[in-house]
């Protein structure tokens, strides 16, 4: 399989299936489409158009299935996770217990469409130190404070329920889904409890997450359209 991703410093959606596949030991070829712009005539958009997908990353290309002679391309993060769960049923991509699995899927769906204040105000930027910006944003935006409170409530409840170290005991899709959230909390220095910080630290310590972070820093890119709080000279 191939996983098409964007810049590791910025692409929070790409991070989720990449971390999941690496941590689960699922082999894949990484295809990195670096952002140039998101205009229709950009190289990024044109490359995705050739795949017949929605013009966004990540995209999982599965050569085991052909559609009109072309390998199956799956272009939504949640759909990618479900495809991986179907392809590799022996892996604990979702919790084995059916009730825990239902809760984990609910949490992933909430992450998929919710937490809009956190996502819009604090775009993922792994290599940046934005703690002063984060402190100001946290003080002034009730929506951001509410998003963080909701995240901490979920973490606290299910870490207590499962007794850790991950949300449902062992690493699964929901933990991979929360990795960009942890990147945001880290870059913007957002305040969280000691229990939440301990979970965040465990995610960062995962080999796959550590590799993603190192790769993001090594990119050494500065894309102004991804940098609402800095200029290139900062």
- The predicted-structure confidence for 8-29, as pLDDT tens digits, reads as follows 999 999 999 999 999 999 999 9
Q: Is the pTM of this model over 0.85?
A: yes
Is pLDDT above 80 for 220?
A: yes
Which domains are delineated in the chain?
2-87 (3.40.30.10), 98-219 (1.20.1050.10)
Pairing of strands 70-74, 2-5: unpaired
Mean of all residue pLDDT scores within the chain: 95
Region of residue 169 (left: phi > 0; alpha: psi -120 to 50; beta: else): left
If DSSP codes are grouped into helix, strand and coil, which group holds residue 217? helix
- pLDDT band with cut points at 50, 70 and 90 for residue 163: confident
Is pLDDT above 80 for 167?
A: yes
- Spell out the residues 6+ positions from residue 119 whose beta carbon is closer than 8 angstroms to its own: 12
The two tokens of residue 10 are 């910025």
Rounded Cα–Cα distance for residues 99 and 80 (Å): 22
If DSSP codes are grouped into helix, strand and coil, which group holds residue 191? coil
- pLDDT band with cut points at 50, 70 and 90 for residue 114: very high
């Amino acid at each position: 399989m191939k996983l098409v991703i964007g810049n590791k410093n910025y692409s929070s959606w790409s991070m989720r299936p990449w971390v999941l596949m690496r941590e689960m030991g699922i082999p894949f070829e990484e295809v990195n489409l670096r952002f140039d712009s998101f205009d229709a005539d950009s190289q990024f958009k044109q490359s995705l158009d050739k795949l017949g997908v929605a013009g966004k990353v990540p995209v999982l290309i599965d050569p085991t299935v052909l559609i009109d002679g072309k390998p199956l391309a799956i272009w939504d993060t949640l759909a990618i996770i479900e495809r991986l769960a179907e392809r590799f049923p022996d892996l604990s991509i979702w919790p084995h217990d059916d009730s825990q699995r239902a809760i984990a899927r609910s949490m992933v769906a909430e992450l998929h469409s919710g937490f809009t204040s956190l996502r819009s105000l604090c775009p993922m930027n792994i290599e940046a130190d934005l703690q002063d910006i984060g402190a100001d944003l946290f003080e002034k935006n009730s929506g951001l404070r509410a998003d963080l409170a909701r995240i901490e409530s979920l973490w606290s409840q299910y870490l207590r329920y499962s007794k850790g170290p991950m949300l449902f005991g062992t690493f699964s899709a929901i933990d991979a889904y929360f990795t960009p959230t942890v990147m945001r909390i880290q870059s913007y220095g957002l305040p969280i409890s000691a229990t939440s910080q301990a979970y965040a630290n465990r995610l960062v310590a995962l080999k796959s997450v550590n590799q993603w972070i190192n790769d993001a820093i090594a990119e050494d890119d500065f894309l102004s359209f991804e940098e609402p709080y800095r200029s290139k000279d900062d």
